[in-house]
Amino acid sequence: MDPPTGAAASPPAPTTLRRNPPRSARPPPTPLPCVKSKPALSRLLDDAASATIPPPERLKVFLRIRPLPERGCGKAKAPRKPKKPDLVCLVASGANSVALTVPHSKLVDPKRGRTEVFDGFSAVFSPDSSQHDVFTQVMNPLVDEFLGGKSGLLVALGPTGSGKTHTVFGTPRNPGLLPLTLRQIFTATDESSKGVTVIQPTRSFCLSMFEILSEGKGERILDLLSDASDLVLQQSTIKGLKEVFIESVADAESLVSCGMLKRSTAATNANNKSSRSHCIITIRAVHENADVESGKSLSNAVLTIADLAGAERERRTGNQGTRLLESNFINNTSMVFGLCLRSLLEHQKNKKKPLEKHFKNSMLTRYLRDYLEGRKKMTLILNVKPGDDDYLDTSFLLRQASPYMKIKYSPSYH
């Protein structure tokens, strides 16, 4: 604010730069004989040790844009007048970024469009990306680390009908991440066994598959590979869950196909085959004969793939009764999952801030606690729909997931 013109402005107060205060003169120190001290060697050892420790990894977050679906993908309805073709609100603007444009119908001032760029993704897969393109960047690193003895988790999430189940399971002609993962595991195992003269412990694999779904206003676990009904979640372990040893890709794919037949699905106005549960598949490496002479304990790494049911808006799905209870369960679980990740991020930013125990509010997050608290490595693949009609769902997911890219994992995870 300018000073009044009628009065003389007082001169500004002088600014004093405080440097180190003067010290009294001291006698020069007595020189000591030059002796090779031990700290120099320890510093070299410390530098060498720190050079071998890789820096923390950031959480990998991938984004896949599904092609625009054909009209009539929801429940069968009476024929209507043909609609105008869908307009696109989301496009890939680079290898790691997307541009989201507010649809014309949602603008306050139609003459002023607004486009927002979301970047920092590990990779963005455009609608014409193949399943193999996605597998190479998303799952290959997880499979390599799994075969090297480290556990890992892939979570597919996004709104209903965004292509999560297609990404994870695919079709017989266009297999998804899970079938391609199984093929890669057995291919790598067969190749490693060829030409090996050193006796190594025998390694085999077992597979389990289950879903978490709503039961009234609660939730329960259903084994998709058996008829067991008395499954109990104890910390991160499911008591009574059936694990099946798999000796080939054909065995594994047959099991998964049988499990998918039992998975809970239903038609809604937004998706004619909407998943009503969170499906989780685990592949566990089992060492049958460990090295007894050396006494080494070989870790049984676990690779987990989770296909989460898509968040739903009641106005769009038209759900009522049981379907509405399922929607509430799905949306609540998605909310708790996001709260866990945000709490982890806030704790990493400020260690004095406690890690909130949001995981207790959902069976899914209790089962995945080690990953949601940063002790094991997790990868996310977000699935979105690019149409104007999907703007609200897509915008919400992008804004919710953008901070997740700042989450870090220690290289010492197991």
Residues tagged in the binding site annotation for ATP: 158-165
H-type helices in 28-69, by residue range? 38-52
Contact 196, 235 (CB under 8 A): no
Backbone angles phi, psi at 290, to 5 degrees: -70, 165
The count of residues in the chain is: 414
Tokens 């390694």 found at: 203
State how far the Cα of 336 lies from the Cα of 362, in Å rounded to an integer: 7
**Among 298, 301, 61, CA closest to 185:** 301
Element (H, E) at 282: strand 277-287
Q: Specify the 3-state DSSP secondary structure of 395.
A: helix
State how far the Cα of 409 lies from the Cα of 371, in Å rounded to an integer: 10
Residue ranges for the known binding site are: 158-165
Angle between helices 177-193 and 249-262 (to 10 degrees): 160
Q: Specify the 3-state DSSP secondary structure of 221.
A: strand
For residue 131, give both structure tokens. Answer: 């399943």
The alpha carbons of the chain give a radius of gyration, in whole angstroms, of 28
**Among 285, 305, 315, CA closest to 381:** 305
> Which residues, 6 or more positions from 133, have their beta carbon under 8 angstroms from its beta carbon?
125
Backbone angles phi, psi at 320, to 5 degrees: -140, 160
**Among 237, 272, 261, 220, CA closest to 74:** 272
Q: Which residues of 47-59 are buried (b: 16+ CB within 10 A; e: fewer)?
A: eeeeeeeeeeeeb
Distances from the Cα of 177 to the Cαs of 50, 133, 161, 325, in angstroms? 36, 10, 18, 30
> Which residues, 6 or more positions from 363, have their beta carbon under 8 angstroms from its beta carbon?
212, 219, 221, 233
Q: Specify the 3-state DSSP secondary structure of 53.
A: coil
